[in-house]
Amino acid sequence: MMKGMTVHYTYVDSPLGELLLTADDGGLTGLYLPTARYPVTVAPGWTRHDAAFTEARTQLEEYFAGSRREFELRLNARGSAFQRRVWAALVEIEYGETASYGAIAARLGVPEGARAVGLANGQNPISIVVPCHRVIGANGSLTGYGGGLPAKQWLLSHEAAHSGLFA
């Protein structure tokens, strides 16, 4: 988070455990799973402001209930220009679908950039909303996920189970 910027946070219950959400005046800056490889904790100076996350909480509840496919939230993820391009590409992966790192790299015009896409994917601070869980290995395997492979498997299975409801 940037110095001098007010950071708000809240917690949201989910089937994956208690999610930590962060935001600033520009929008949602983070959504962190409790099972993360590098857990994020509330930092000194952050302000709990549950009311600021009403819409995010509602949309997450709808997602976990299986009635929401896309999020409509103001996002303000911080990263390099390349990371932001990768994160924008993640949002384009359809609900219930997956894409490989190589396919995303090719879509971004860097066909040899699968490893760079993987690194950017791993730095995505707004999991679930920016669906990094939808990225898999070229052979269809579930590769690393910052929230842990069981969480990734749960999210993909959840979307697969509910994707037929919207046909």
CA angle at 51 for the pair 130 and 45, rounded to the nearest 5°: 80
Rounded Cα gap, residues 135 and 132, in angstroms: 6
The predicted structure's pLDDT at residue 3: 56
Query: Which fold does the domain 8-65 belong to in CATH?
Result: Double Stranded RNA Binding Domain (3.30.160)
What digits encode the pLDDT tens for the residues 40-98? 999 999 999 999 999 999 999 999 999 999 999 999 999 999 999 999 999 999 999 99
Q: What is the mean pLDDT of the segment spanning 22-37?
A: 93
Rounded Cα gap, residues 81 and 59, in angstroms: 27
Is 132 tagged catalytic? yes
Q: Which of 69, 86, 87 is nearest to 30 (CA)?
A: 87
DSSP output for 115-157: HHHHHHHHT-SBTTTS-GGGEE-TTS-----TT-HHHHHHHHH
Q: Is 165 exposed, middle or buried (0-12, 13-18, 19+ CB in 10 A)?
A: exposed
Q: Is the pLDDT of residue 18 over 80?
A: yes
The predicted structure's pLDDT at residue 1: 45
Rounded Cα gap, residues 83 and 7, in angstroms: 21
Find how far residue 129's CA is from the centre of its chain. Answer: 4
pTM of the model: 0.90
Residue range(s) in the chain whose domain bears CATH number 1.10.10.10: 81-166
Query: Which fold does the domain 81-166 belong to in CATH?
Result: Arc Repressor Mutant, subunit A (1.10.10)
Q: Per the residue annotation, which of 20, 60, 130, 132 is the catalytic one? A: 132
- Assign 4 a pLDDT band (cuts: 50, 70, 90): low
What digits encode the pLDDT tens for the residues 97-126? 999 999 999 999 999 999 999 999 999 999
The predicted structure's pLDDT at residue 129: 97
Q: What is the mean pLDDT of the segment spanning 31-37?
A: 90
Q: Which of 2, 42, 41, 45 is nearest to 24 (CA)?
A: 2
Residue range(s) in the chain whose domain bears CATH number 3.30.160.70: 8-65
Q: Is the pLDDT of residue 39 over 90?
A: no
Q: Is 107 exposed, middle or buried (0-12, 13-18, 19+ CB in 10 A)?
A: middle
